[in-house]
């Protein structure tokens, strides 16, 4: 499928295609789905959108913007070799491991502004679900069982928010009406917009008083196992660990030991390994609720990724630098 809007040029010279033919002076954008192509309409004059799922060679030698499929990893990046492109626009916020899979000369942007709201919603939802036993009530509903229970509130709890970037700030905004005692932690201590943010070097002294820990950090070597055996042991009995960042932020073996003993509870949208295999002990650990990496998978995503791609199109048409650039190979 190919969607075209206008035949006017956009200030560029004609390009020679793979077969030696002269291509029209358009800004060419490839997207992985017809739905995203439709969401981009109406397009400015001189912009052409092509649906390319990156599961086959590129449809042409020059694509100004390439949008890879969502949650596909880097499986299609090999098809970028030999393609002249000005921007690869990812659909996820995280980008660990991507640079090594990109050919030289590629500019890559992540999807900041797209998933923060949806991921923050899920973080708060998972927290409430475990605190108020909503997962237990769902099982009771299926069994036709009326079983009232006393639960922990979210109100008045001391919440350690580990990560104060886009997702972390979105979580903080949504927690404000719940009247929690919020303790943000980031790479370094600072005061940001009137909020006192603690540095990661203070983590050891902050954990013993944390009743809930919410992780929103990115993945990578710098954050791998930032919550390990020592950190879990430092938490008080009954503490809840919520992870909507990346699975390897937590040492899974250590988490299994603490949850299996009933000392720590967990709500995980991301795991290590992922997908979590059948029979893994986390599935049967008491006090553990798992969602299958769906933080950004909501109706909020499609209009927001379309808005981001439209802004990137406008930047290129105006001769401006793209936003959200995180990698230049």
Predicted confidence at residue 25, as pLDDT, reads 64
User: What three-state secondary structure class fits 122?
Assistant: helix
Q: Are residues 249 and 105 in the same domain?
A: no
Other Cβ atoms within 10 Å of 215 Cβ, number: 26
According to the model, what pLDDT value does residue 74 have? 84
**CATH number for 87:** 3.40.50.720
280 annotated active-site: no
In a domain, 2, yes or no: no
Specify whether 133 is located in the same domain as 54.
Answer: no
Given the residues 115, 258, 293, 304, the one annotated as active site: 293
Residue of 60, 115, 246, 258 marked catalytic = 246
| Residue whose token pair is 């100004």 | 64
Give the pLDDT of the chain (329 residues) as one tens digit per residue. 345 433 333 334 444 444 344 344 689 999 999 999 999 999 999 999 999 999 999 999 999 999 999 988 788 999 999 999 999 999 999 998 899 999 999 999 999 999 999 999 999 999 999 999 999 999 999 999 999 999 999 999 999 999 999 999 999 999 999 999 999 999 999 999 999 999 999 999 999 999 999 999 999 999 999 999 999 999 999 999 999 999 999 999 999 999 999 999 999 999 999 999 999 999 999 999 999 999 999 999 999 999 999 999 999 999 999 999 999 99
When divided into structural domains, the chain yields a total of: 2
179, part of any domain:
yes
Determine the pLDDT at residue 38: 97
CB atoms near residue 142 (< 10 Å): 8
Q: Are residues 270 and 172 in the same domain?
A: yes
Query: Are 90 and 229 found together in one domain?
Result: no
How many residues does this entry show for the chain? 329
The residues, ordered by sequence, that sit 6+ positions from 194 with a Cβ below 8 Å of its Cβ are none
Are the C-beta atoms of residues 109 and 93 closer than 8 Å to each other? no
Q: Does residue 35 sit in the same domain as residue 121?
A: no
| Element of type H or E holding 135 | helix 134-143
Contact 243, 268 (CB under 8 A): yes
Quick check: is 17 in a domain? no
> Residue 9: what pLDDT?
33
Domain extent at residue 243 = 115-290
189: in domain: yes
pLDDT at position 15 is 47
Active site residue 274: yes
Residue 128 and residue 263 in one domain: yes
Please tell me which residue in 41, 202, 205, 274 is annotated as part of the active site: 274
Q: Name the DSSP class of 104.
A: T
pLDDT of residue 18: 40
Whether residue 198 lies in the annotated active site: no
Same domain? For 98 and 198 the reply is no
């Amino acid at each position: 499928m190919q969607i075209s809007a206008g035949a006017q040029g956009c200030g560029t010279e004609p390009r020679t295609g793979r077969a030696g033919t002269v291509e029209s002076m358009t800004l060419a954008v490839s997207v992985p789905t017809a739905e995203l192509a439709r969401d981009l309409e109406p397009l400015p004059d001189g912009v052409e959108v092509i649906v390319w799922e990156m599961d086959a060679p590129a449809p042409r030698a020059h694509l100004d913007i390439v949008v890879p499929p969502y949650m596909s990893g880097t499986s299609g990046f090999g098809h970028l070799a030999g393609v002249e492109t000005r921007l690869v626009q990812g659909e996820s916020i995280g980008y660990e491991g991507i640079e090594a899979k990109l050919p030289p000369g590629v500019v890559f942007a992540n999807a900041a502004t797209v998933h923060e709201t949806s991921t923050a919603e899920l973080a708060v939802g998972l927290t409430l679900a475990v605190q108020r036993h909503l997962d237990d009530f769902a099982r009771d509903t299926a069994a036709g069982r009326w079983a009232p229970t006393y639960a922990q509130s979210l109100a008045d709890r001391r919440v350690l928010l580990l990560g104060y970037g886009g997702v972390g700030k979105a979580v903080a905004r949504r927690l404000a009406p719940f009247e929690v005692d919020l303790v943000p932690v980031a790479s370094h201590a600072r005061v940001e917009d009137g909020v006192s943010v603690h540095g990661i070097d203070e983590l050891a002294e902050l954990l013993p008083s944390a009743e809930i820990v919410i992780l929103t950090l990115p993945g990578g070597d710098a954050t791998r196992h930032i919550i390990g055996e020592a950190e879990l042991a430092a938490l008080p009995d009954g503490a809840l660990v919520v992870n909507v960042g990346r699975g390897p932020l937590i040492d899974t073996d250590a988490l299994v030991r603490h949850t299996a003993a009933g000392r720590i509870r967990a709500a995980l949208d991301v795991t290590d390994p992922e997908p979590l295999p059948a029979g893994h002990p986390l599935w049967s650990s008491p006090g553990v609720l798992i969602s299958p990496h769906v933080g950004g998978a909501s109706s909020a995503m499609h209009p927001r990724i379309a808005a981001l791609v439209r802004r990137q199109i406008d930047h290129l048409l105006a001769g401006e630098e793209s936003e959200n650039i995180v990698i230049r190979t």
